[in-house]
């Protein structure tokens, strides 16, 4: 019973406080987006839905035979069409709530060139969505909005589970919890897909951090070299740390001078990594770069495995 209460307290602390004290290898997970109004929070969700729907429209480039030729079940294209319809419905639903306050779609660019890379990108897009909706309820006070956002979140999580388990033959989940990223962290992951946005859209009070990248197929236990551009020159002379956020756990590891870091063995599933100049907090004001999105696949016995997509 004590463990249940501890988990509940941990969840509430992450979603409703500015800092979280965790024992042992876990540290503070801070939410530094300031105060967003409900309208701003709902518009953040709408911006995400615009991105998702625009991405799934790219299905028009790939036919059933293209999926089969890529070693994917032909029927998976039909499932993606259903997901696309969901994202359109989510967009229209949020637009109806926001009315003339709704942001307009941005212009997007995505890296897929074939069904295989389409699946890989969709995995990232749905992971972003699940993390976003996990965090958004913090900014809502209207019970009807909370229910609506929670309902969308559960569907996005199903999308993510289907893509990762059925198409990539990975695990349908990562840990017992989704990672509640700050909206600035989510914004940073979304930015590479955004070319430009209408000037009429009101800017949201979120930050954009320098991009962080890991080698492809990086695995737990490996020492790998990361890549990023420090936000300011002084970061080049600071001691930096790599944080690995998995569910409600954040593990901190020193970043070596040559920008190498050893990925903790304990990690699996979807993991977000952030570089900070503070070993006690992974917060927006201490962030130097990231997050990077890592998929650390594991089999039904919990053992690490490398999948092709």
Going by C-alpha positions, the residue among 131, 130, 136 that lies closest to residue 37 is 136
| pLDDT the model gives residue 232 | 62
Longest dimension (CA), the chain: 54
Helices (H) and strands (E) in the chain, counts: 7, 12
pTM: 0.84
DSSP code of residue 298: B
Residues with Cβ within 8 Å of 206's Cβ and at least 6 positions away in sequence, in order, are 33, 44, 183, 184, 187
> Which pLDDT tens digit goes with each residue over 248-301?
899 999 999 899 999 999 898 899 999 999 998 888 999 999 999 999 877 776
Element (H, E) at 225: strand 223-225
Cα angle: 39, vertex 42, 43; to 5 degrees: 85
pLDDT on residue 97: 94
Q: What is the C-alpha to C-alpha distance for residues 178 and 164, in angstroms, rounded to an integer?
A: 15
Residues 6+ positions from 114 with CB-CB distance below 8 Å: 62, 66, 70
pLDDT of residue 308: 64
Token pair, residue 236, equals 């080049």
Q: Which of 56, 95, 270, 24 is nearest to 168 (CA)?
A: 270
Architecture per CATH, domain 209-308, reads as: Sandwich (2.60)
For the chain, the domains span 31-201, 209-308
Q: In a 3-state reduction of DSSP, which class is residue 294?
A: strand
Q: Identify the architecture of domain 31-201 in CATH.
A: Up-down Bundle (1.20)
Give the residue from 86, 272, 94 showing the smallest Cα distance to 189: 272
Q: What is the pLDDT of residue 1?
A: 35
Neighbours of 126 (CB within 10 A): 24
Identify the segments of the chain with pLDDT beneath 70: 1-34, 231-237, 301-305, 307-309
Q: Residue 20: what pLDDT?
A: 30
Contact 283, 30 (CB under 8 A): yes
Q: In this predicted structure, what is the pLDDT of residue 14?
A: 36
Phi, psi at 291, each rounded to 5°? -85, 155
Other CB atoms within 10 A of residue 29 CB: 26
């Amino acid at each position: 019973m004590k463990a249940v209460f501890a988990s509940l307290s941990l969840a509430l602390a992450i979603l409703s406080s500015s800092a979280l004290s965790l024992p042992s290898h876990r540290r503070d997970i801070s939410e530094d987006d300031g105060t967003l109004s409900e309208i701003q929070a709902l518009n953040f969700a709408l911006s995400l839905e615009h991105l998702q729907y625009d991405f799934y429209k790219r299905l028009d480039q790939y036919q059933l035979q293209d999926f089969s030729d890529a070693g994917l079940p032909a029927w998976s294209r039909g499932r993606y069409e259903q997901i696309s319809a969901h994202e359109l419905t989510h967009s229209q639903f949020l637009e109806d709530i926001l009315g003339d306050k709704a942001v307009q779609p941005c212009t997007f660019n995505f890296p897929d060139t074939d069904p295989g890379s389409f699946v890989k990108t969709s995995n990232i897009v749905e992971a972003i969505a699940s993390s976003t909706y996990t965090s958004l309820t913090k900014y809502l006070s209207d019970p009807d909005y909370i229910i609506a956002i929670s309902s969308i979140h559960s569907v996005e999580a199903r999308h993510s589970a289907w893509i990762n388990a059925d198409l990539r033959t990975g695990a349908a989940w990562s840990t017992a919890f989704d990672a509640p990223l700050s909206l600035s962290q989510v914004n940073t992951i979304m930015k590479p897909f955004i070319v430009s946005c209408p000037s009429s859209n009101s800017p949201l009070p979120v930050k954009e951090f320098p991009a962080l990248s890991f080698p492809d197929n990086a695995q737990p236990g490996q020492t790998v070299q990361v890549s990023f551009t420090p936000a300011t020159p002084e970061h080049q002379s600071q001691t930096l740390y790599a944080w690995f956020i998995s569910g409600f756990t954040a593990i901190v590891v020193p970043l070596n001078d040559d920008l190498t870091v050893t990925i903790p063995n304990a990690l699996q599933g979807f993991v977000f990594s952030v570089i900070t100049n503070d070993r006690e907090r992974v917060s927006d004001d201490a962030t130097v770069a990231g997050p990077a999105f890592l998929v650390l696949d594991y089999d039904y016995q919990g053992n690490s495995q490398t999948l092709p997509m």
